[in-house]
Amino acid sequence: MTDLSGHRGTARAPTAGMTPDLDTATSGGPAAPGAGDDRPHIVAVVFNSISHDARVLKEARSLRDAGARVTVVGIRDRRAETPHEILEPGIELVRVEHRDRIHAIVARLWSGFAVLGGLAALVVTGLALRGLQAAFSGGTGVLASIVDWRGWFVVLPAAAAAAAVAGLGVLRARRHRAAARLLRLRAEGEGGGPAAPSPSRSWMRCRAGRLMSEFRSAVGRRAIHDAVVDALRGMSIDGIHGHEPQGLEVAAALRAERPGLPVVYDAHELYDEQAGITEFRRRRLRRRLRTLSRVPSGAISVNASIAREMTVRWPAMPEPVVVRNACPLPERPPQDDGRLRAAAGLGPDEGRILLYQGGYAHGRGLQELVRAAAHLPAGWTLVMMGWGAIEPQLRAIAAEVDPGGTRCRFIPGAPQAELPAWTAGADLGVIPYRNTCLNHWYCTPNKLWEYPAAGVPMLVSPFPELRAVVEAWELGGLLDDPLTPEGIAAAVATCSGPEGDARLAAMGKRCRRFLEQDHWGVQGARLVELWRSAGLPLASAESPDVGASGDGDGDVERAGPTVTTVAAPSAAAAGGRRG
């Protein structure tokens, strides 16, 4: 085992927004959680509020079951304000306050505007006075012409505008400093008091400008990064599990202070090929990842296609181990208790349900899916179960194509712990992502396992990883590319009628076979073996399927049908995929 004693952090008094050291007993009081615990301490870092991140929580449980003590460090937001909680024995959630830092940064910006406005007002006033002096002394020229009545149409508005900028800057700076102080006081008081204010975006209303959007995002990322790093400095740590590039940046900062600290990078997606990413952010992200690729001791990807892309793009990074977004294997398949139909306003015998579950985001083909509701075969209803920024747009489309509200229903997203029982009420699931970027082309979302875990067949976009699972295990059908509402309806029609009923029943039975071979127990074992190879004394994960499903080296091997993964398309062939 690697000697980790040299980089164990020492406890110190927490600063504002920091979480107290969870490993050290408070002087003169009872021992803090984890004091005297000789289990290896793994800290996972994620830039969200943790509770809704299924992958992060599954990984934490696998590491805990292997003998580690796990702390997941995230951020506080409106969905989760609790600064510290024990999720389960051996798993602690710590949410740091970062919004005070955003307010402080914005306050400094407004202070700068106030100074510039004040200087401008002084300059304009000085020019006006010099002009008066020159005019009364009989001079000529630009300064003397200011006393002319036409010149004051320039001087007075300029002076007023400069003074207004200065005054607005002072007021806004005071407001954001006050908000920062309130948030720091709340953090020190363990989250009591009124709800925390969110940073105002009125200081840059120009939403159309991409530069302002990039700047806004950069301010938020920097504030979270600094808050999380400060919190981690107060902990003793045996290894850091950095989720996504932001988590890897935090790990790199700690690694610089504690040489030899094991770091694992967990890439949930192909980040520099995401839908909607600007060219500026793409180039910046690639530069960051090129630098950070030398930091981790090990790397993780969600599938073999993205793992290969990571190996090509970041050759200095260790070869990624594939840990897929699989679901835990339930003792028995969940039963439909009618909750999905009741929430959607459908009776027990009121036709069949085509279900989409998850986030509402651009590029996921949801506009085409909702439009397809008008073309679905008789007896089918589309149920949209989720949340997201484009929900108003989707509801508007539904009102347009289905004015009576009989073919398309919207219901809120279900809690993660209850999701299988909700999904079990559907007859067919759908993953209709559009081919807009390489990240979508290689995607394997949680839904690829969540539908089979509930015994629900699925229709998926014909992308390499999605196609490999559905065709190899005969779990459903493929949608057209490009995606169209008529094509979605035609795919649903193949599951209609007596023959369609028999097909759905057969595919539903194969869902259990698929999950028995590719469940979280298999994937969690690969995660544990990676951390064991990094030198942590963890117990070997016991999974009877590990040998049949691969040895954790990233190969796409499964028990059952052979799966062949399509190679990455060339830049010319990819076309719009790299958008």
Domain final position from 322, 352, 374: 322
Q: Is residue 539 part of a domain?
A: no
Model confidence at 15: pLDDT above 70: no
550: exposed, middle or buried (C-beta count within 10 Å: 0-12, 13-18, 19+)?
Answer: buried
- 8: confidence class by pLDDT, cuts 50, 70, 90: very low
Angle among Cα 306, 523, 519 to the nearest 5 degrees reads 110
Please tell me the distance from the alpha carbon of residue 297 to that of residue 299, in angstroms, as a whole number.
Answer: 7
Residue 512 and residue 381 share a domain: yes
Q: Is residue 376 part of a domain?
A: yes
Residue 91 and residue 108 share a domain: no
Residue 107 and residue 90 share a domain: no
Residue 480 and residue 375 share a domain: yes
pLDDT in tens, 117-164: 777 777 777 766 666 555 556 555 555 555 554 555 566 677 777 777
User: Which residues have a Cβ under 8 Å from the Cβ of 190 and sit 6 or more positions away?
Assistant: 83, 84
User: Which residues have a Cβ under 8 Å from the Cβ of 283 and sit 6 or more positions away?
Assistant: none
Question: What percent helix, strand, coil does the chain show, rounded to 5?
Answer: 45, 15, 40
Domain final position from 290, 322, 354: 322
Please tell me the distance from the alpha carbon of residue 458 to that of residue 477, in angstroms, as a whole number.
Answer: 7
Structure tokens at 321: 């181990």
Sign of the CA dihedral with 398 first, then 403, 407, and 408 last:
positive
Question: Hunting for tokens 């691969």 — which residue is that?
Answer: 550
Q: Is residue 555 part of a domain?
A: no
Structure tokens at 481: 């590319």
Closest residue by Cα to residue 53 from 243, 287, 272, 249: 243
Give the pLDDT score at 570.
35
Query: 235 near 21, Cβ under 8 Å?
Result: yes
Model confidence at 18: pLDDT above 50: no
Please tell me the distance from the alpha carbon of residue 29 to that of residue 23, in angstroms, as a whole number.
Answer: 13
Please tell me the distance from the alpha carbon of residue 470 to that of residue 482, in angstroms, as a whole number.
Answer: 19
Q: Is residue 477 part of a domain?
A: yes
Give the pLDDT score at 559.
30
Q: Is residue 424 part of a domain?
A: yes
- 476: confidence class by pLDDT, cuts 50, 70, 90: very high
Q: Is residue 351 part of a domain?
A: yes
Question: Hunting for tokens 């005019």 — which residue is that?
Answer: 135
CA atoms lying within 13 Å on the CB side of residue 67: 14
Please list the residues that pair with 409 across neighbouring strands.
383
Q: Which of 102-111, 126-135, 531-540 comes out lowest in average pLDDT?
A: 126-135
CA atoms lying within 13 Å on the CB side of residue 368: 22
Q: Is residue 547 part of a domain?
A: no
Residue 296 and residue 147 share a domain: no
Whole domain around residue 158: which residue ranges?
101-195
pLDDT in tens, 267-324: 999 999 998 888 888 999 999 999 999 999 999 999 999 999 999 999 999 999 999 9
Residue 494 and residue 390 share a domain: yes
Residue 285 and residue 343 share a domain: no
pLDDT in tens, 227-245: 899 999 989 999 999 999 9
Residue 487 and residue 347 share a domain: yes
Residue 501 and residue 369 share a domain: yes
Domain final position from 160, 195, 230: 195
- What are the phi and psi torsion angles at 563 (to 5°)? -110, 125
Please tell me the distance from the alpha carbon of residue 57 to that of residue 24, in angstroms, as a whole number.
Answer: 25
Closest residue by Cα to residue 535 from 276, 114, 239, 296: 239
Domain count, the chain: 3
Q: b/e map of 328-361 (b: 16 or more CB within 10 Å)?
A: bbeeebbebeeebbebbebeeeebbbbbbbbebe
User: Which residues have a Cβ under 8 Å from the Cβ of 558 and sit 6 or more positions away?
Assistant: 472, 517, 518, 548, 549, 550
Closest residue by Cα to residue 386 from 440, 322, 343, 345: 343
Q: Is residue 543 part of a domain?
A: no
Residue 109 and residue 88 share a domain: no
Residue 112 and residue 82 share a domain: no
Region 429-434 average pLDDT: 98
Residue 427 and residue 355 share a domain: yes
Closest residue by Cα to residue 363 from 475, 445, 261, 260: 445
Describe the strand order of the beta sheet including 476-478 as a list of residue ranges. 408-411, 380-387, 352-359, 428-431, 458-460, 476-478
Q: What is the CATH number of the domain that holds 423?
A: 3.40.50.2000
